[in-house]
Amino acid sequence: MKAQDLVMPYFVVHGKGLKKPILSMPGSYRFSVDQLVFEVRQASKLGIKSILLFGIPKKKDLLGSEAYAEDGIVSRAIRAVKKALPKLQVIADVCLCEYTSHGHCGVIKSPNKAEINLPKTLELYAAEAVVYARAGADIVAPSGMMKGQVAAIREALNINGFKKVKIMGYSAKYASAFYGPFRDAADSAPAFGDRTGYQMNPASGYKEVLKEVAADIKEGADIVMVKPALAYLDVIREVKRKFNKPLAAYNVSGEYAMLKAAAAKGWIDEAKITVEIINAIRRAGADIIITYQAKEVAKIINARK
Q: What is the pLDDT of residue 94?
A: 97
**At 12, is the secondary structure helix, strand, or coil?**
strand
**At 47, is the secondary structure helix, strand, or coil?**
coil
- Name the fold adopted by 3-303: TIM Barrel (3.20.20)
Q: How confident is the model at residue 38 (pLDDT cuts 50, 70, 90)?
A: very high
Question: Which of these, 298, 285, 295, 180, lies nearest to 224 by C-alpha position?
Answer: 285
The model's pLDDT over 111-148, given as tens digits with 9 standing for 90+, comes to 877 788 999 999 999 999 999 999 999 999 999 999 99
Backbone angles phi, psi at 100, to 5 degrees: -90, 145
Domain boundaries, the chain: 3-303
What are the helix (H) ranges across the chain? 33-45, 73-84, 118-135, 149-159, 180-186, 206-219, 233-242, 253-264, 270-284, 294-303
Contact status, residue 12 vs residue 54, Cβ threshold 8 Å = yes
pTM: 0.95
Q: What is the pLDDT of residue 201?
A: 93
Higher-confidence residue: 195 or 209?
A: 209
Strands 166-173 and 139-142: parallel
Is a pLDDT exceeding 80 seen at residue 191?
A: no
Average pLDDT of the chain, as a whole number? 94
Q: What is the pLDDT of residue 46?
A: 95
Peptide bond into 228 cis (omega under 30): yes
The model's pLDDT over 270-283, given as tens digits with 9 standing for 90+, comes to 999 999 999 999 99
Residues with a known catalytic role: 173, 227
Q: What is the pLDDT of residue 305?
A: 66
Is a pLDDT exceeding 80 seen at residue 1?
A: no
Query: What CA–CA distances, in Å, run from 11 to 73, 79, 187, 206, 232?
Result: 10, 15, 11, 32, 25
Is a pLDDT exceeding 90 seen at residue 196?
A: no
The model's pLDDT over 69-118, given as tens digits with 9 standing for 90+, comes to 999 999 999 999 999 999 999 999 999 999 998 888 888 888 877 788 99
Q: What is the CA radius of gyration of the chain?
A: 18
Q: What is the pLDDT of residue 52?
A: 98
Q: What is the pLDDT of residue 256?
A: 96
**What average pLDDT does the segment 167-172 reach?**
96
Q: What is the pLDDT of residue 211?
A: 96
